Chain A
């Protein structure tokens, strides 16, 4: 692990630069320990893949002081044991061709039936490695190599909110309408990010995601329930 100053009042902590669940978990445990310290000088904790950025109040403390105290927190074995269970969130996805506007194209390019693409996409657990790009956009690891597919040459100007898509070796959900170059294979009726909620995004890095295929009718039902505030994302906690 290396600690680097990042401007006037931030520290970047880097783990070996590889994508791994062990590293992600180590960062998560560290972040929980820092949060438990409840220190006034820490303003922001942002982590993704193998890096953690900490913004601190530089009025009263300098880089070396913060670094030393963070190292002590990291080494502290006495801290309350951090939950080791995994939360798996089940995200309903309608893979109909009405939403999955690139499914037919993917199917012919990949020489895979549409049903097989849906099965491959919805039968694995994805790890959330971080949130970025847009509020509530999850960086997911775990897409099967069989579904790797290049981004579009020119991005679409507006990808609809909720679109589930594949870009290169990644898959993800557009939490709001935005320009985007990924291949769209379906849509989820649920909002991954809602500023009106106390916790705008319930999913956090280190959690896992599973996509559950639903019909168009179920999509409409869930959408109505969600808009009325009567829908909670199904979560399963594995000990």
Chain B
């Protein structure tokens, strides 16, 4: 078990997502930056879908009540184990009574804490991902107890090595496919969408990221149709909303682009004020 002494700003448990229920209006959810979450599991020789803790901007304070191994990946946030600094992307053994806390955020905004075997939050509709309205809680709270599979301290080397030099947070070109309604817009409008430097607005969360710029005003609407994490909707005001992991499953705004999973992960590490450009890639 691990006990939550302080929950941090926005901390939840996420696996790779809740699939097979979008036809009932259930969002996919899952780790916003699935690449970093995947690295965390890989470094502990976990399964790819083991549940990890997603930590946003300001980290929690946790006390372990059993031994296991931990690793932190994703955003460059300082972390301390019993007040001693630890590195990200490196596995550490922890014992009963060990205290894990987080400090300054340098780059990115979301980091992932994995434990051997994964966190064992309740499974609802085949997933452990928190989503308010589906799971009994949307965020971790003070004094929550989270269980994990107790494991002997593992001195085995991870089967993978990860190049942490990937300039993940410096990338500001987001690769996108054409969305279903891209061709509804004139070529000048399409060019404008692809040449504008967009700014992430304050309105950004696990449901979606709204961009600040009003680029292409329009009056087009569509009959409500499915959307996905990574769908880029163009609002009548000319602003873009990029849907993220907790997005609704249907929408009525034109869908001009679709992000790749990697692009979603890159965007998930951006905060208000950061800029990006969209780059069109072709379908295979």
Contact = CB atoms under 8 A, between A and B. Distances in A.
A130 B250 contact: yes
Interface residues of A, number: 42
Contacts of A132: 25, 224, 226, 248-251
Interface stretch (B41-49, B96-104, B150-158, B258-266): B258-266
Nearest to A4: B180
Contacts of B283: 5, 63
Nearest to A54: B226
A135 B222 CA distance: 21
B258 A133 contact: no
B19 A195 contact: no
A193 B24 contact: yes
B226 A131 contact: no
**Interface bracket on B:** 35 or more
Interface of B: 19-27, 124-125, 133-134, 177, 179-180, 222-226, 228, 230-231, 248-251, 255, 258-261, 283-284
Interface of A: 4-8, 10, 12, 14, 17-19, 43-53, 55, 62-63, 130-137, 139, 175-176, 193, 195, 200-201, 204-205
Secondary structure dominating the interface of B: loop
Contacts, number: 112
Nearest to B20: A44
A43 B19 contact: yes
Contacts of A205: 23
Given A5-B177, A7-B230, A132-B250, A48 B225 contact: yes
Given A63-B283, A133-B248, A46 B226 contact: yes
Contacts of B225: 12, 14, 48-51, 53
Contacts of B25: 131-137, 175, 193, 201
A230 B175 CA distance: 52
A134 B131 CA distance: 12
Nearest to A193: B24
A52 B19 CA distance: 16
10 contacts: A5-B177, A48-B226, A49-B225, A51-B223, A51-B226, A132-B226, A134-B248, A136-B25, A193-B25, A195-B125
- Which A-B residue pairs are the 4 nearest by beta carbons? A132-B250, A53-B226, A7-B258, A51-B225
B266 to A, nearest CB: 15
Contacts of A135: 21, 24-27, 133-134
Given A46-B249, A200-B21, 20 more contacts: A6-B180, A6-B228, A6-B255, A8-B260, A14-B180, A14-B225, A48-B224, A49-B223, A50-B225, A51-B226, A53-B22, A53-B226, A63-B283, A130-B250, A131-B24, A132-B226, A132-B249, A132-B251, A133-B250, A134-B248
Nearest to B22: A46
A200 B125 contact: yes
